Amino acid sequence: MKQALYIDCCIRGRQSRTRKLAEAFFAALPNTWKVTTVNLMREDLRPLSGEFFAAREALLQAGKTDDSRFDRARQLAAAELVVIAAPFWDMSFPSLLKIYIENVSVEGVTFRSTEEGLKGLCTAERCVFLTTRGAAYAPGDPMEQAMPYLQAIRKFFGFGELDCIAADGLDLDGADVEALVADACARAAALAQTL
């Protein structure tokens, strides 16, 4: 079976509108995929600082990328499909997702340095970002920083294409939230069926 990695950053759990998009996506994903879920709210994630950072650096300098500390990075590198579900918060996404990305950015596992620059080592040909936003943002709007950041991460890790399915404008006055979420769920399901 093909390996899919679901990075769940739906902070509100069962009340999450973003989780509805993820549920629609995975309900439609062909059963040729084995899905592994990483629920970031349940993971013991720590920012890279102080002794925690120093211990990581010591392992990397010793070439010990097989240490259990880098299990998440190896898991990400091996996935053939990466699905990230996270709401739009403070112009991008919850900081928990950034902490996860910091922890899986491991030289020799998810990327390496070459004479030409950095080269991604991840095998995923596709990365899907599922999100919900209170306001509406056109592509390239400087108020929306999640997609530019994830595009850079896509290139850094070596992922193939990055797709974004967003339910926009959910908190605007007069918004038909149910219809907007249903539309995004339908688009998420349609994308999943193509994979």
**Would you tell me the crossing angle of helices 95-104 and 71-78 to the nearest 10 degrees?**
90
Note the pLDDT tens digit of each residue in 20-31.
999 999 999 999
In this prediction, residue 139 has a pLDDT band, given cuts at 50, 70 and 90, of confident
Q: List the domain range (segments joined by +) for residue 61.
A: 2-193
Burial of 74 (0-12, 13-18, 19+ CB in 10 A): middle
% pLDDT > 90, the chain: 97
Note the pLDDT tens digit of each residue in 72-124.
999 999 999 999 999 999 999 999 999 999 999 999 999 999 999 999 999 99
Give me 162's structure tokens: 């990055």
**CATH no. for residue 113?**
3.40.50.360
Going by C-beta distance under 8 Å and a sequence separation of 6 or more, which residues neighbour residue 58?
A: none
**Nearest partner of 48 among 37, 63, 58, 62, judged by Cα:** 58
How many domains does the chain fold into? 1
Going by C-beta distance under 8 Å and a sequence separation of 6 or more, which residues neighbour residue 59?
A: 65, 67, 69, 70
Q: Quick one: average pLDDT of 135-161?
A: 96
